[in-house]
Amino acid sequence: MYRSCLLPLAAALALLAGCAAVGPDFHPAAPAAMAQRPTSAPDLASDVPLGEQALPQRWWTVFGDPVLDGLQAGLLENSLDLRNAALRFAQSRLQRSVVASQELPHVDARAQATRQRQSEHGAETRLVQAIGGANRQALTELLAEPFPLYQAGFDASWELDLWGRVRRSVEAADAGVEAADALLAQARLALCGELARTYFNLRLAQRQQALLDEQVAVARDTLGLLESQAAHGLIPDDEVLAQRARVAELQAQRPPLRAREAAQLNQLTTLSGTLPGTLNEALAPLPLPATDAVPALPDLALGLPSALARRRPDLRAAEAQLHAATADIGIAVADLYPRIALGAGAGLQSIEAGRFGDWSARTWQVGPVLSLPLFDHGRRRATVELRKLQQQQAAVAYQQAVLKAWQEIDDALADYAAERQRRAQLQARLDERRRAWALAQGRRANGLSSELPVLQARQAWLQSRADLADNESRLNTALVAVFKAVGGGMEGGE
């Protein structure tokens, strides 16, 4: 009879457990439909070339530098910052497993063997005191004698998720995993971008030193020529003094460049998870290129403006945090309602070791447990309001992240476009100074001028090379900033 009533009750409770979860459902924000990306500098936006091929996930490969590729591989393998982010991601996945375990029944086994004595004046002897009569004292002493007790069995419990508290908890945990995954991608993107930027700054410092050495050599040759002319009274001593100051000024530029090179080397070793000096051989200065042409940079296939910013890991993280905050409201609302858990237990109990396995030693219990919140001074309802405010704060944070994303994208693209325009102007100036140097050499070869105009033209050409090298580094770092701003490369873009 009891079992026939219990089974329909359990079936009804299990059916209720499938009811819809309380609290608001989360709906991802749809990207705003835009025909073109928002910009504060339309003239610069039109100067950014747009291609059709998607940027690769390993976006640094577009620079075609095997040394940079090797550094990035070492960073992804050895970076301690990435290890920390990966550990946080692993923790979030385990936390999700912990939360999801609430959806299933819990079963615990137990076993116990004790020897115990009851008090002669405890609650257990009240019945003996009431009905014992003349044998009351003897019965009390008998009950108080020490005895062994053997017990074994299991207990099972399952909370029916009537209002979706557990489902909302799992939903929030899933959002936490997504946020941790996005933050891992954000850390990877930021570190790879920082490494690329540092690498280009290192190469710039090394190239500037090589060009500076050539400038110093030309300046010394010019000084020697001027000193010879001054000794013969052809020019005043003021020109010699000015050239000496110029030589000293050029020489004074080398220590800061050397310190900058060392700082960039140390930064690269730290990012790679190694000690200072480890990468010195791999990052030795490269010879100056034979030509002054800047390598062609890739066109940018940034994707549709409406979905461009959604690739950014920080936006994915902000959206996941908003999702978790929305699910937390459902958890708080579910706490306002009763909880029902189904419990069952079975086992064996005996005071005699030889009778422990007998069928008559069995014990069992089964039935639901109801927990009904009645009065808590408004704590649960205040928690619901708190979760709603936190969800609104997460929504504002997401909107702020979107605006910040577009600002960074526009800043990066504008800077990249401006450096492209500057490169064309510097390249034109370099070409003119190269021709001027060639003309000066021709006039000197034909005896139409002295060596001084040749040295001066070469000095101007070297300065243009230094400016172009600076622009090349700025172009590369600006492109790195673009890759970071748009969230790296696209899936399937390898």
**Mean pLDDT, 10 residues at a time, over the chain (494 residues)?**
47 53 84 60 60 71 90 90 91 90 87 84 71 72 80 87 90 93 92 94 93 92 88 84 91 93 92 85 84 64 58 90 94 91 88 80 86 86 94 94 87 87 89 91 84 88 90 90 81 46
Q: Are 459 and 216 in contact (CB under 8 A)?
A: no
Here the tokens at position 357 are 């396995």
Instruction: Give the other-Cβ count within 10 Å of 62's Cβ.
Output: 16
C-alpha to C-alpha distance for 26 and 323, rounded to whole angstroms: 6
pLDDT digit string, tens, across residues 252-267: 999 999 999 999 999 9
Q: Using alpha carbons, select from 157, 153, 143, 155 the residue that is nearest to residue 112.
A: 153
Query: Residue 3: what pLDDT?
Result: 47
Residue 61 CA neighbour count, 13 Å, CB half: 9
Here the tokens at position 396 are 């504002």
Question: Is residue 346 classed as helix, strand or coil in its secondary structure?
Answer: strand
Query: Residue 182: what pLDDT?
Result: 92
Between the alpha carbon of residue 223 and those of residues 220, 236, 238, 472, 479, the distances in Å are 5, 13, 12, 31, 41
Q: Are 118 and 144 in contact (CB under 8 A)?
A: yes
Give residues with Cβ within 8 angstroms of 129, minimum separation 6.
136, 140
Q: Using alpha carbons, select from 248, 278, 297 the residue that is nearest to residue 62.
A: 297
pLDDT digit string, tens, across residues 53-64: 566 788 898 888
Here the tokens at position 86 are 């990966």
Instruction: Give the other-Cβ count within 10 Å of 335's Cβ.
Output: 18
Query: Residue 38: what pLDDT?
Result: 64
Query: Residue 1: what pLDDT?
Result: 42
pLDDT digit string, tens, across residues 337-382: 998 988 888 888 888 877 777 888 888 888 888 888 888 888 999 9
Q: Which residue has the tokens 């040749």?
A: 454
Spatial strand order in the sheet of 362-371? 106-116, 147-160, 339-350, 362-371
Helix, strand, coil shares, percent, the chain, to 5:
65, 10, 25
Between the alpha carbon of residue 440 and those of residues 213, 215, 434, 459, 466, the distances in Å are 22, 17, 10, 12, 21
From the centroid of its chain, how far is CA 103? 30
What are the chain's domains?
A: 31-103+165-337+378-485 (1.20.1600.10), 107-160+339-372 (2.20.200.10)
Instruction: Give the other-Cβ count within 10 Å of 340's Cβ.
Output: 18
Give residues with Cβ within 8 angstroms of 41, minimum separation 6.
410, 414, 417
Query: Residue 37: what pLDDT?
Result: 61
* Length in residues, the chain: 494
In SS3 terms, 363-381 reads as EEEEEEEEECCCCCCCHHH
Here the tokens at position 33 are 């439909």
Element (H, E) at 109: strand 106-116
C-alpha to C-alpha distance for 233 and 228, rounded to whole angstroms: 9
C-alpha to C-alpha distance for 263 and 257, rounded to whole angstroms: 10
Query: Residue 309: what pLDDT?
Result: 59
Here the tokens at position 345 are 């237990």
Q: Using alpha carbons, select from 173, 176, 168, 175 the residue that is nearest to residue 335.
A: 168
Query: Residue 6: what pLDDT?
Result: 46
Sequence letter at residue 50: L
Q: Which residue has the tokens 């708190």?
A: 386
